[in-house]
């Protein structure tokens, strides 16, 4: 917790980046941020150890625990009142210029809501969708947002457009970390992330019905903006510092008209660090990794580990496997490249290589990989709209690199005896600190 006053313009990002450079990823709480008038909490998801603790496990058990809990889906429980209804502003009372917001990078168009979980419901089935979408204030009553992921919310907006209707939505800014994690889940169109949130929480998520459109939102949220996305509307937004480490102005430029603002009396701003921060990446990739690990192990019993490295943003994955037949590494890599639409590069390694360490994976690539034999490339596939190297149509090529040793590999690892290692540890323990 920091009592030192900080600016709402970039200083929080700068502090988090300075800590990350030291290998430190603490949750950050700021008591005095510019003239926002609220406490700011950020960097919650920057540490996998912290996320694992929230789920009641350790890092090695993170994927399995996430999948186990997310499958125990629980229907939300509707309550009449919750703290988010402490203060409700409607109509002429709405002034989005009063929202607490941060500017994360100098290149950002302005302050952004990075923890913007948009909730919408299918008009026929009532099945809900929770998903993240970068957002900024467009006018006192309007938000500019982007649905560039072309996910389920985009499909609901297109359905509304076909019917000549607007799409009721609610933007949740700040909720329980497990609700935030559920909003990153990748589900079929007919599945509801609010039920996944209940599974992760271990109990039904308490929800209230929003006053204008009756959308079910977390009763204990910090702030909620309720209104409609007008499929025919347009609002410029971007550039914004994205997970690639580049500022992107690729946007669907959707217009969200706000009818009501709901907030707790003691609301805090729960921020998600932008750019290619560990928080931004972990929040999205932990559910993806968990799903991919399960898919791979269901089909390939030889897979021992999977990791999406921070260095590769969302575009790289490392997979370790103990091959049982020739070509299995290629098959596993093709599975990953086909299942995950964001992946561009997969590197396969042997089980003794720690996939959480870039240096070990690169060592395996340097000593086991022959480009003419171990490289596969697939062209012309849909990719991330935010990839600055992708084509104007958003297509990309994908690559698999087999850095396993293979059946014809000739090499003996240089190793030290356990006695030498024990003796070295004892000598080092006796040296003065700093010697």
pLDDT (0 to 100) of residue 50: 97
Q: Extract the residue ranges of the chain whose pLDDT is less than 50.
A: none
pLDDT (0 to 100) of residue 380: 85
Looking at domain 54-273, which CATH architecture does it have? Answer: Roll (2.30)
Q: Which CATH number fits domain 300-402: 3.40.1670.10, 3.90.79.10, 3.30.70.260, 3.90.550.10?
A: 3.40.1670.10
369 three-class SS = coil
Residue-wise pLDDT tens digits, 260-274: 999 999 999 999 999
Residue-wise pLDDT tens digits, 27-73: 999 999 999 999 999 999 999 999 999 999 999 999 999 999 999 99
- Can you give the residue ranges of every domain in the chain? 54-273, 300-402
Question: What stretch of H or E contains 299?
Answer: helix 278-299
Say if CB 385 and CB 133 are below 8 A apart.
no
pTM of the model: 0.91
- Please provide the DSSP assignment of 80-129 as one string: S--GGGSEEEEGGG--GGGS--BB--TTSSS-BBSS-EEEEE-TTT--EE
pLDDT (0 to 100) of residue 250: 86
Distance between first and last Cα of the chain: 33
Is the peptide bond preceding residue 293 cis, with omega within 30 degrees of 0? no
CA distances from 170 to 61, 72, 85 (A): 33, 25, 14
Is residue 5 exposed (0-12), middle (13-18) or buried (19+ Cβ within 10 Å)? exposed
Report how far residue 327's alpha carbon sits from residue 348's, in angstroms, rounded to the nearest whole number.
11
Say if CB 217 and CB 223 are below 8 A apart.
no
Residue-wise pLDDT tens digits, 389-400: 887 667 889 999
Chain centre to alpha carbon of residue 181 = 8
Report how far residue 162's alpha carbon sits from residue 90's, in angstroms, rounded to the nearest whole number.
29
pLDDT (0 to 100) of residue 434: 65
Say if CB 340 and CB 398 are below 8 A apart.
no
């Amino acid at each position: 917790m920091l009592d030192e006053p900080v600016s709402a313009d970039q200083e929080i990002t700068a502090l988090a980046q300075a800590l990350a450079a030291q290998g430190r990823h603490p949750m950050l709480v700021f008591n005095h941020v510019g003239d926002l008038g609220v406490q700011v909490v950020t960097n919650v998801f920057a540490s996998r150890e912290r996320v694992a603790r929230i789920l009641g496990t350790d890092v090695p058990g993170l994927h399995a625990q996430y999948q186990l809990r997310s499958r125990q889906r629980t229907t939300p429980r509707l309550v009449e009142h919750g703290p988010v209804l402490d203060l409700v502003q409607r109509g002429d009372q709405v002034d989005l210029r009063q929202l607490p917001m941060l500017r994360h990078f100098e290149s950002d168009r302005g302050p952004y809501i990075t923890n913007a979980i948009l909730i919408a419901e299918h008009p026929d089935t009532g099945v809900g969708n929770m998903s993240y979408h970068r957002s900024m204030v467009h006018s006192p009553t309007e938000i500019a947002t982007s649905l560039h992921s072309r996910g389920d919310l985009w499909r609901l907006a297109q359905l509304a457009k076909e019917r000549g209707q607007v799409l009721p939505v609610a933007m949740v800014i700040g909720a329980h970390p497990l609700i935030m994690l559920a909003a990153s889940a990748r589900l079929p169109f007919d599945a509801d992330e609010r039920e996944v949130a209940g599974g992760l929480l271990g109990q039904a998520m308490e929800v209230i019905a929003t006053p204008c459109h009756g959308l079910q939102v977390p009763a204990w949220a910090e702030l909620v903006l309720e209104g409609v996305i007008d499929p025919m509307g347009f609002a410029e937004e971007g550039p914004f510092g994205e997970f690639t480490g580049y500022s992107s102005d690729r946007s669907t430029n959707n217009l969200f008209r706000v009818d009501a603002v709901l907030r707790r009396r003691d609301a805090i701003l729960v921020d998600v660090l932008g750019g290619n921060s560990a928080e931004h990446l972990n929040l999205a990739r932990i559910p993806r990794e968990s799903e991919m690990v399960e898919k791979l192990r269901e089909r390939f019993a030889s897979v021992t580990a999977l990791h999406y490295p921070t260095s590769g943003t969302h575009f790289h994955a490392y997979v370790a496997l103990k091959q049982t037949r020739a070509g299995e590494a290629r098959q596993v890599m093709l599975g990953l490249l086909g299942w995950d639409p964001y992946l561009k590069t997969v590197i396969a390694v042997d089980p003794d290589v720690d996939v959480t360490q870039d240096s070990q994976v690169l060592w395996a690539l340097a000593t086991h990989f022959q480009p003419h034999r171990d490289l596969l490339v697939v062209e012309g596939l849909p990719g991330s709209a935010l990839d600055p190297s992708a084509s104007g149509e958003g297509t990309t090529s994908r690559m698999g690199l087999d850095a396993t040793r293979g059946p014809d590999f000739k090499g003996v690892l240089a190793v030290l005896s356990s006695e030498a290692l024990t003796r070295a540890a004892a000598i080092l323990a006796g040296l003065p600190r700093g010697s």
